[in-house]
Amino acid sequence: MEKHTIIIVEDDEITALNLKLSLQKHGYKILATCDNAIDALQKIEMHKPHVVIIDISLQEGSDGITLGRKIRQNYTIPFIYLTSYSDDDIISEAIKTEPYGYIVKPFDPSSLHATIQMAVFKFDMECKRFEEINASKIDEKGVEKLLYERSEPNKGTVLFGASYSIDIAKNEICYNAQKLKLTKKENAILRLLVAKLGSVINFNQAITYVWKENGATENSIRTLVWRLRSKLPTDIIKNASGIGYYIEK
């Protein structure tokens, strides 16, 4: 097991000590034990731990939740709440900070270990997914560059799909030299497919490029492509089942 590093934020000395000893027995490295949010933030900034364990009721208030909120806003570090509370209002406030788990007092060492491992796993998967999404993004400049690379020498026109063409400068798409009447989003998805001719455009790439903001879904892309296909004279857009779409070279 990788030796994950942890900062404990707990103002009860006995609980803090029990946590530290239990975690050390499971192979974790305790970087610091803090009894207040200010000290905890300083230690987090200094050490950048793998996980932070926070008592919700620091100083008999909601300082633990405030600390969790600051970690969420300023650091890419998973945190877990330690709590003996059953108050719905407190739990509701805690949920808003999106913790990676809860440990209920009095804690069981085995459950403590399992909660931390699940938090680390979930965090790692989220980071991996985020990296994959970022790696798959195609911006407008990238698409323009790819289109120019595919264009006819000195013409600024890209030919594709037998009898189709894109005039890059005018942002017009034609079939047999006749301009197609497409919406802005239909035009955008077709330009993206042509820029990556022969390659599959996945749903994330299409959403990022066409919508440029949150709110679109895979169904949004499917509906858009369905409408576009109904306007094209020939069926040039192919399905990559469950992944996205492509146009053959």
Choose one of 94, 115, 135: the last residue of a domain: 135
Q: Which long-range contacts (CB under 8 A, 24 or more apart) does 234-239 make?
A: 234/161, 234/162, 234/163, 234/175, 236/160, 236/161, 236/162, 236/164, 237/193
- Considering 72, 100, 135, which residue would you say is the last residue of a domain? 135
10 & 131 share domain: yes
Is the pTM for the entire model greater than 0.85?
no
pLDDT in tens, the chain (249 residues): 567 999 999 988 999 999 999 999 999 999 999 999 999 999 999 999 999 999 988 765 568 899 999 998 888 899 999 887 666 777 888 888 889 988 888 888 888 899 999 999 988 888 777 666 555 567 677 788 888 888 888 788 999 988 999 999 888 999 999 999 999 999 999 999 999 888 888 888 888 888 876 678 888 999 999 999 999 999 999 988 778 899 998
Distance CA 200, CA 206 (A): 10
As for how many domains the chain has, the answer is 2
Tell me what pLDDT residue 6 has: 96
The span from the CA of 241 to the CA of 198, in Å, is: 15
Q: Which residue has the tokens 């900070």?
A: 97
Give me the pLDDT at residue 39, please: 93
How many whole angstroms separate alpha carbon 209 and alpha carbon 11? Answer: 49
CA distance 209 to 205: 6
What CATH number is associated with residue 16? 3.40.50.2300
Taking the C-alpha atoms of residue 247 and residue 208, their distance in angstroms, rounded to an integer, is: 19
Amino acid present at 229: R
